[in-house]
Amino acid sequence: MADAISGPSYLYNLLANELSVALYGDLDKTSENMGALTMMTIKDRKAAAAAAGPSSSEAPVDTSASARDSDTVFPKLESIGYQVGQRLIERLTKEHARFKDELDRMKFVCTDLWKYLYDKQIDTLRTNNQGTYVFTDNLFRPLAFFSAEGVDQYYPQSGRFIAFPCGIIRGALSALGIRCTVSAKVLSVTCCVFEVVVERT
């Protein structure tokens, strides 16, 4: 298992492929920037966050575009995440013993998958035992380096960075045999809550 979780290089290969296939040409500049941001490694993000300090005034410029984008770009990014999650999970579960039940699979997503993607585990996993699971990540990596000045500075924009992780969760779970819908909420700039509702048929 330690071998399989060696680093997110596969993720970035896939991301680059999927993003270029799906987003090629038919999105405006704002969305491409968004894709590029999502692709950065954590190290890159640190550097970018440091660099973004002075140029942060650019960020609010795209607020007018964001409303227009959100309808088309979110499902698109989400479906990209779905593809990525679905493919990654095959590799990650290769050496893993057969899963016992649904909770076992959820735990795998919260621990192993999350560790592979973001170098940390989900902080809490809660369930009502009726098919709703809530993952809370108190320091969600894609948002972890946002708070440049003032906690709420980028809060309005932070929502757009969770579509992709939502898709990854949905893809991973569907590959493991759980059909579900995933929604997410950003509570504060670094804290993100994912809600997974399993579809019962």
Partner 1 sequence: MALCIGVMGAENQPLLIKISPNIQDPIKFHFMLHSALDVVEEKSQPLPKTPGSISGADLRELYLGLLYPSSDEVRVYGYCANTRMKMILIVEASNTTLRDNEIRTMFRRLHVAYSNMIMNPFYDVGQPISSKSFHDFVDSMIAAFGVGKLVNPTLYSVEMEYFEDVPTLTGIRLLLRS
Minimum distance, C-beta of residue 29 to partner 1, in the bound complex (Å) = 23
> Which residues, numbered 138-177, are part of the site for partner 1 (CB under 8 A)?
175-177
Rounded CA-CA distance 5/48 in Å is 25
Minimum distance, C-beta of residue 23 to partner 1, in the bound complex (Å) = 13
Q: Interface with partner 1 includes 136 (CB under 8 A)?
A: no
Of 29 and 98, CB closest to partner 1: 98
Per DSSP, the chain holds a count of helices (H) and strands (E) of: 9, 4
For partner 1, the binding residue among 28, 90, 119, 199 (CB under 8 A) is 90
Q: Interface with partner 1 includes 200 (CB under 8 A)?
A: no
The count of residues interacting with partner 1 (CB under 8 A) is 23
Q: Interface with partner 1 includes 2 (CB under 8 A)?
A: no
29-44 in b/e burial notation, b at 16+ Cβ within 10 A? ebbeebbeebebeeee
Tokens of 32: 């491409």
Which span sits near partner 1 by CB under 8 A: 52-60, 67-75, 92-100, 119-127? Answer: 92-100
Minimum distance, C-beta of residue 96 to partner 1, in the bound complex (Å) = 6
In DSSP notation, 73-127 reads: HHHHHHHHHHHHHHHHHHHHTTTSPPP-SHHHHHHHIIIIIHHHHHSS--SEEEE
Q: Interface with partner 1 includes 199 (CB under 8 A)?
A: no
In DSSP notation, 120-172 reads: S--SEEEE-SSSEEEEEETT-HHHHT--SSSTTTTHHHHGGGSHHHHHHHHHH
Encoded one letter per residue, x for contact with partner 1 by CB under 8 A and - for no contact, window 95-124 reads -xxxxxx-----------------------
Say how many C-beta atoms besides its own lie within 10 A of residue 125's C-beta: 18
Q: Which residues bind partner 1 (CB under 8 A)?
A: 10, 13-14, 17-18, 21, 83, 86-87, 89-91, 93-94, 96-101, 175-177
